[in-house]
Amino acid sequence: MSINQRPQSGTNLLQTALAKPYHYRRSGRYYLRLRHQGATKGFFTLSLRTTDKATAMTISQEILQTLKAFHFDNPAATWDELRERLVDIAESCLTMAHGDGSLVAYEMIHDEQRVALREASAKLPLSVNQQRAVSKALEILEAAQERLEGRSGKLVEIVRDLKGESCSTPVPLSPSLSVLPSKPLTFKAISELYMEERKDNIQASTMRDVKSSCEAIGAVLGDLDMKTHTREDMKNLRDKLLEDRKPSTVKKLLTRLSTVMDWAVNNDYISKSFDKGLKPTKGADSSREAFSQDQVKALMAHAKTLPIDAWQRWALSLGVIAGTRIEELRQLTKADVKQVGGVWVIDINRNHGKTAKTKNALRVVPLTDEAYGFDLQAFREFVDKADSQLFTLGAGQFSVLLNGTLRDVLSLNADRTQTFHSLRHSLAGAMKAAEVPRGTAESILGHSSGSISYDLYGAGASVEVGRMAEALVKAFALTK
């Protein structure tokens, strides 16, 4: 980290409060720029030494809190005033609970704080009391690093010293360290720690949904300290979410809340969670609406007007006749279109780094020739001409363009009650109307706990695929 001091002539930067901090990226790395209110030229630029936004924001917040502790807008601050701030810093470093992810983050945070304070001590016109406080703060941060390694003795002594207690006395601390005050722990902070730990085990599309859900919850909970939250706080959260969201959406958000809060309890960030039993039941069915048969037919009629080599034609068609999830569809390769027991299928698998939502999503889905006018032979020609991937767009662009096509063709509302995912609901409805056995329908959609994908090459594979193919033929026959 470097601090660039560019004070205006004749201006003491310590005599004015800091303006709102400004963050920016350069060559992928995050920086924090600070200036004092009323100053147009003087500023500090701090390199946060990371390309990860969440980590950068955490480091930035800690630096700002550290700087605030030294009364930079009050050079006349007394030692007692500064000592109170130092006690807060030391006790927070001593009592904060850490997981593996935050241990790594705070090693970096403490390093950045120490460099910043050393340069501030050398370059800024600090008062005697401020210099004394900076010196003690450097001791605290050095001891905090040792505490991260499991050696808290030096930090305990610093807390005692700052509180005016003798280090040589054998009398235990009062109050005990277990009840010393610590900084509030917001849901935003908890969710960031959760996502950092889980990032390697959650696929990117799911992580985007996790982040979006947590941001929505965090916006309502704000600065609430989750270590001391109550049942009433959680009920207020639910009621606030229901003000401008459908019950089904709130149900999903509260499910995410429970996942994060359970993780926080299990990792000892909080002692108890009061989120259970909050989910709304009335009107909480899925907000995703199936397409009507007229809409499905209109969509397939449009698809058939597209050239045989147009990827949109086959993406729309497979969504209609196979009910695939959009990411399952995007990852299909040439090798995934095959015959099993004489039936042409698409194989949803995790080969060559592909991802799947769950193990149950691993399956094969028969392709029904002539369903809504689907041309199997033309599709096979498209596959034969493909290099490896059937669809070459990235996840974001593929989803945007495909859902955009649906909205244009069917003149859909912007409320997202009908999207590409609605095609799965349409296929499920068609199979239900045809009285397809539930287990067979679940195998086709990838919901079954006994998915045939586990026995794809076994003796019974062709029998199972044949049964699914017959079920789909029966379902599509009723749509004509």
DSSP structure string for 239-288 = HHHHTSS-HHHHHHHHHHHHHHHHHHHHTTS-S----TT----TT-S-SP
126 and 243: one domain?
A: no
175 and 191: one domain?
A: no
| Adjacent-strand bridge partners of 345 | 338, 366
pLDDT of the residue at 221: 93
Within a domain: 170? yes
146 and 207: one domain?
A: no
| Adjacent-strand bridge partners of 36 | 18
- Flag whether the pTM goes above 0.75: no
351 and 391: one domain?
A: yes
pLDDT along the chain (480 residues), means of 10: 34 45 76 60 63 76 69 71 84 78 71 73 72 84 83 85 55 38 81 86 78 91 91 89 83 89 86 84 60 92 93 95 92 93 91 81 92 95 92 86 90 79 90 89 74 44 84 87
pLDDT digits (tens, 9 = 90+) for 39-86: 444 455 767 767 777 777 777 777 777 666 666 556 677 888 888 888
- Residue of 331, 349, 322, 325 whose CA lies nearest to 456: 349
Q: Mean pLDDT score of the chain, rounded to an integer?
A: 79
420 and 326: one domain?
A: yes
Within a domain: 283? no
- Rounded Cα distance, 302 and 110, in Å: 60
Q: Among residues 131, 157, 179, which one ends one of the domains?
A: 179
196 and 171: one domain?
A: no
162 and 204: one domain?
A: no
- Rounded Cα distance, 116 and 134, in Å: 10
**Residues 6 or more apart whose Cβ sits within 8 Å of residue 79:** 129, 132, 133
Within a domain: 166? yes
**Residues 6 or more apart whose Cβ sits within 8 Å of residue 194:** 214, 260, 263, 264
191 and 173: one domain?
A: no
Within a domain: 285? no
Report which residue type is found at 285. D
- Rounded Cα distance, 257 and 218, in Å: 10
Q: Among residues 141, 163, 179, which one ends one of the domains?
A: 179
How many C-beta atoms lie closer than 10 Å to residue 371's C-beta?
A: 21
Within a domain: 286? no
Tally of domains within the chain:
3
Indicate the length of the chain as a whole number. Answer: 480
138 and 23: one domain?
A: yes
Is residue 109 within 8 A of residue 85, CB to CB? The reply is no
HSE of 204, CA atoms in CB hemisphere, 13 A:
6
Kindly give the pairing relationship between strand 22-26 and strand 337-340. Answer: unpaired
- Rounded Cα distance, 31 and 182, in Å: 28
pLDDT of the residue at 304: 93
27 and 111: one domain?
A: yes
254 and 313: one domain?
A: no
HSE of 135, CA atoms in CB hemisphere, 13 A:
8
pLDDT of the residue at 459: 45
- Domain with 312 in it: what CATH number? 1.10.443.10
pLDDT of the residue at 310: 93
- Rounded Cα distance, 146 and 442, in Å: 54
pLDDT of the residue at 368: 94
- Domain with 249 in it: what CATH number? 1.10.150.130
338 and 312: one domain?
A: yes
Within a domain: 202? yes
**Residues 6 or more apart whose Cβ sits within 8 Å of residue 362:** 348, 349, 350, 356, 446, 451, 453, 454
- Residue of 79, 98, 189, 190 whose CA lies nearest to 149: 98
Element housing 158 (H / E): helix 153-162
Alpha-carbon Rg for the chain, nearest whole angstrom, is 30
Q: Domain residues for 251?
A: 187-266
Q: Among residues 132, 152, 179, which one ends one of the domains?
A: 179
Is residue 86 within 8 A of residue 137, CB to CB? The reply is yes
Within a domain: 447? yes
**Roughly how many angstroms between the first and final C-alpha of the chain, as a whole number?**
68
Within a domain: 8? no
